[in-house]
Amino acid sequence: MTNIRNIVILTGAGISAESGIDTFRSAGGLWEQHRVEDVATPEAFARDPELVLRFYDMRRARIQEVVPNAAHDALARLDASWHGGLLIVTQNVDDLHERAGAKRLLHMHGEHLNAWCLSCDERHRWNGTLIDRPACPTCGTSGQMRPDIVWFGEMPYRMNEIYTALNRADLFVSIGTSGAVYPAAGFVREAREQGVRTLELNLEPSQGSHWFDEARHGPATEVVPGWVDALLRQQSG
């Protein structure tokens, strides 16, 4: 892969699977354990806030029990050493990329460790629970804080930055995502239309696998470090 300067990397639940965080659509995954309509829509939150808050309190506690794996570490290494443009766009709401050291990172679906006050619109770092309806640290209002997660039917964050980076990219890489959810699942076609080279690194072919120029299949902790090391070797010539 020569003449690669600007890279956009999309990550999904598959990159955190080997750290012990359930993916959504694999056998026994989160969406088999819970109905999306019950826990991941604004309507569900209006209908049964306790059920939704308990679900995200459980997930917020879980991510604090696990650690980044070799795939997160490899992307942090790339971030630290890559001379060209790089943007890691994650659909994940865990903080494993940050804990591995990645900086050029964007959470398009929100973050577990943020609480969002619907009264004053402030967001707060939050590693505790919300089921007990705590007061907002800024406005003091109780019971108005929700998980800072983009639910189905809501607009993902920072889409303009993502499309700007895709338009400037030479390479688009998709890691650990099924290609089941838009707009993220559409990035590969957006990239192709811009003449950007595309690569899929995933355990198995994703729903959009046929759109990629190249695909390497296997566990993220194996395929991602191998790809990063080869790229950095090439950069150092």
CB atoms within 10 A of CB 66: 15
Which residue in the list 72, 97, 107, 109 is annotated as catalytic? 109
Contact yes or no for 14/176 (Cβ under 8 A): yes
26 binds ligand APR (CB under 6 A): yes
Torsion of CA 219, 181, 166, 175, to 10 degrees: 0
Contacts of 60 (CB under 8 A, 6+ apart): 112, 113, 126, 127, 128, 129, 147
Q: Which residue is nearest to ligand APR (CB)?
A: 14
Q: Assess 174 for contact with ligand APR (CB under 6 A).
A: no
Q: Is residue 109 annotated as part of the catalytic site, yes or no?
A: yes
- Can you tell me the distance from the alpha carbon of 75 to that of 139, in angstroms, rounded to the nearest whole number? 38
Quote the Cα angle for 6-209-26, to 5°. Answer: 110
Nearer to ligand APR, 132 or 161 (CB): 161
Least distance in Å: CB of 135 to ligand APR? 28
Stretch touching ligand APR by CB under 6 A, among 7-15, 41-49, 117-125, 135-143? 7-15
Q: Which of 9, 12, 82, 116 binds ligand APR (CB under 6 A)?
A: 12
Residue in the structure block whose two tokens are 């395929």:
223
Site for ligand APR in 102-141 (CB under 6 A): 109
Task: Kindly state the smallest distance separating residue 200's Cβ from ligand APR, in Å.
Answer: 9
Site map (CB under 6 A) of ligand APR, residues 36-65, x = contact? ------------------------------
Catalytic residue numbers read: 109
